[in-house]
Amino acid sequence: MTARLPEPSADERAHSDHLLAMMREDIAVNGPMPFSRFMERALYTPGLGYYSAGKAKFGAEGDFVTAPELGPLFAQCVVRSLKPILASLGDEAEFLELGGGSGSFAEVAIGAMQREGVLPRRYMILEPSADLRERQRERLALALAPDVFARVVWLDAPPEESWAGVLFANEVIDALPTTRFTMRDGEVYEEYVVLDGDGRLGITYRPADALVGGAVRHVERDLGRDFEAGYRTEILPQLPYWMQAVAGTLEKGAMLFIDYGYPRSEFYLPERTDGTLRAFYRHYMHADALHAPGLQDITASVDFTALAEAGNNAGFGVAAYVPQAQFLIASGLQEFFEEGYMGTEDEATRYRLAQQVKKLTMPDEMGERFQAMLFARGLNAVVLPAELMLEDRGSRL
Ligand SMILES: C[S@@+](CC[C@H](N)C(=O)[O-])C[C@H]1O[C@@H](n2cnc3c(N)ncnc32)[C@H](O)[C@@H]1O
């Protein structure tokens, strides 16, 4: 499976070996490591994890391209969709971006908020990676006027005081460390990472604890079907707790999550017998999550029904659930495209703009694979964007 992957450089190999040595020691001392902990370590170990070390990651030189990396259209549309909500909250409004990546979303979004007259009191970024935080800071300090940059704050933890405004996260839920499980004799078994005799990483299964077992049984009940023997997939049993932690103090406002994924019935299709977990290494997508820890991204699709349940538990209602293409089209995509197109005579720039629209909206690119889920709490229904409400597919959840 990994045979055709590009070879890491000597430096990269040494980097990965360093992280591997730490994992081996952990397993030797503590025994088999739940897959979710392996993923957390592979992505977020300070200084060594995929998101925590200095690798390019995003864009053409990196491993994958996210919507904000393609160009400004995505962030412009997101701001347009949230404008009525931010405007209704007036001076109270704050904005919290989870997982700011390279800072490309924040840079365009803050400019668009200024132009739309809805610049929030504070633009907060909650980013676990110290390396990414530094890159975001450098980028925004260069791009923004000093008085606007002064509104940007990096948080170490979700806000403790109650606040009003909007929480936004693009491609963050897919990066949360996921639990993997399989079924044996009608019982739930959780996946663990172990060492073989040569010190290589491998997997084993152990009976699931009450948290994981309970979460799997809940999904089975909701689907009205028991998982077949050997069915292997992912679940985020901690999602409701995570949601409560990041959004519990958002008393009035909205949350917008955009990510790739499906409603539960599609996520756990009987024929999807090996889950949705994927690794990305220099634009190669493959299934070996244990390959070269620290050098590759690891991600799983989002069960949007689970996300809706977690939001409901935290006191929010789902206001809209829409494929990304419809979300962007209902949020001014055509207008922003035309503005960009007419604003230049350069054919290459126009071509790139057209390519951006294609990537964001074509069904086999991001248009149908990505979904937008908007939650609201304590808001007057009238302030929710009408065009978006018309596109709602919430009945599929
Ligand atoms: C795939 S990247 C997406 C980055 C950016 N949102 C974009 O669209 O380009 C995932 C981001 O989520 C961050 N992240 C992971 N877990 C997080 C958490 N629990 N809270 C906030 N951010 C998180 C990562 O560090 C990274 O910045």
Instruction: Check whether residue 286 and residue 324 sit in a common domain.
Output: no
- Whether residues 106 and 206 share a domain: the answer is no
Contact 63, 297 (CB under 8 A): yes
In a domain? residue 5: no
Q: How far is the CA of 55 from the centre of ligand 1 (A)?
A: 15
The tally of domains found in the chain comes to 2
pLDDT at residue 383, as a whole number: 84
Q: Is the CB of 127 under 6 A from ligand 1?
A: yes
Instruction: Tell me, yes or no, whether 123 and 141 share the same domain.
Output: yes
**Nearest protein CA to atom 7 of ligand 1, as residue:** 101
Q: Which two tokens stand for residue 205?
A: 């299964």
Say which CATH number the domain at 33 has: 3.40.50.12710
Claim to verify: residue 292 and residue 180 sit in the same structural domain:
yes
Helix (H, G, I), strand (E, B) or coil at 127: coil
Cβ proximity of 77 and 327 under 8 Å: yes
Q: Answer yes or no: is 17 within a domain.
A: yes
Q: Which domain holds residue 26?
A: 10-61+176-237+272-296
User: Are 81 and 155 contained in the same domain?
Assistant: yes
132 Cβ closer than 6 Å to some ligand 1 atom: yes
Q: 291 and 308: one domain?
A: no
Atom 13 (ligand 1) nearest CA: 99
Instruction: Name which of 248, 218, 250, 254 is nearest 236 in CA terms.
Output: 218
Distance 98 CA to ligand 1 centre (A): 6
Q: Are 19 and 293 in contact (CB under 8 A)?
A: yes
Q: How far is the CA of 83 from the centre of ligand 1 (A)?
A: 23
Q: Identify whether residues 214 and 308 lie together within a single domain.
A: no
Q: pLDDT by residue for the chain (397 residues), tens digit each?
A: 445 788 888 888 999 999 999 999 999 999 999 999 999 999 999 999 999 886 666 666 667 789 999 999 999 999 999 999 999 999 999 999 999 999 999 999 999 999 999 999 999 999 999 999 999 999 999 999 999 999 999 999 999 999 999 999 999 999 999 999 999 999 999 999 999 888 899 999 999 999 999 999 999 999 999 999 999 999 999 999 999 999 999 999 999 999 999 999 999 999 999 999 999 988 789 999 999 999 999 999 999 999 999 999 999 999 999 999 999 999 999 999 999 999 999 999 999 999 999 999 999 999 999 999 999 999 988 788 888 888 889 888 9
pLDDT score, position 1: 47
- pTM of this structure: 0.96
Nearest CA to ligand 1 atom 10: 172
- Ligand 1 atom with least separation from CA of 299: 1
CA distances to 10, 149, 248, 313 from 289, rounded to whole Å, are 21, 38, 32, 31
Which of 45, 78, 107, 172 for a ligand 1 pocket mutation test, highest count of atoms within 8 Å of Cβ? 172
Any atom of ligand 1 within 6 Å of the Cβ of 99:
yes
Q: What is the DSSP string of 94-123?
A: EEEEE--TTSHHHHHHHHHHHHHT---S-E
69 in contact with ligand 1, CB cutoff 6 A: yes
Nearest CA to ligand 1 atom 8: 170
- Same domain membership, residue 160 and residue 144: yes
Give the three-state DSSP class for 84. helix
Which DSSP letter does residue 64 get? B
Handedness of CA 138, 114, 100, 89 (dihedral sign): positive
**Burial zone of 10 (CB within 10 Å; 0-12 exposed, 13-18 middle, 19+ buried):** exposed
Which pairing describes strands 163-170 and 250-262: parallel, antiparallel, or unpaired? parallel
Both 94 and 231 in one domain: the answer is no
Buried b (16+ CB within 10 A) or exposed e, 271-302: eeeebbbbbbbeeeebeebbbbbbbbbbbbbb
DSSP-assigned letter for residue 367: I
DSSP-H helix ranges across the chain: 10-30, 35-44, 67-70, 73-89, 104-116, 130-143, 146-149, 210-223, 239-247, 264-267, 304-313, 324-329, 333-342, 347-361, 386-390
Q: Is the CB of 64 under 6 A from ligand 1?
A: no
Q: How far is the C-alpha of 47 from the C-alpha of 44, rounded, in Å?
A: 8
- Predicted local confidence at residue 56, as pLDDT: 61
125 C-beta closer than 6 A to ligand 1: no
Question: Does residue 260 share a domain with residue 376?
Answer: yes
Going by C-beta distance under 8 Å and a sequence separation of 6 or more, which residues neighbour residue 92? Answer: 121, 164, 165, 252
Shared domain check, 221 and 85: no
CB of 322 closer than 8 Å to CB of 393: yes
**Cβ contacts of residue 107 below 8 Å, gap of 6+?**
75, 139, 140, 143, 144
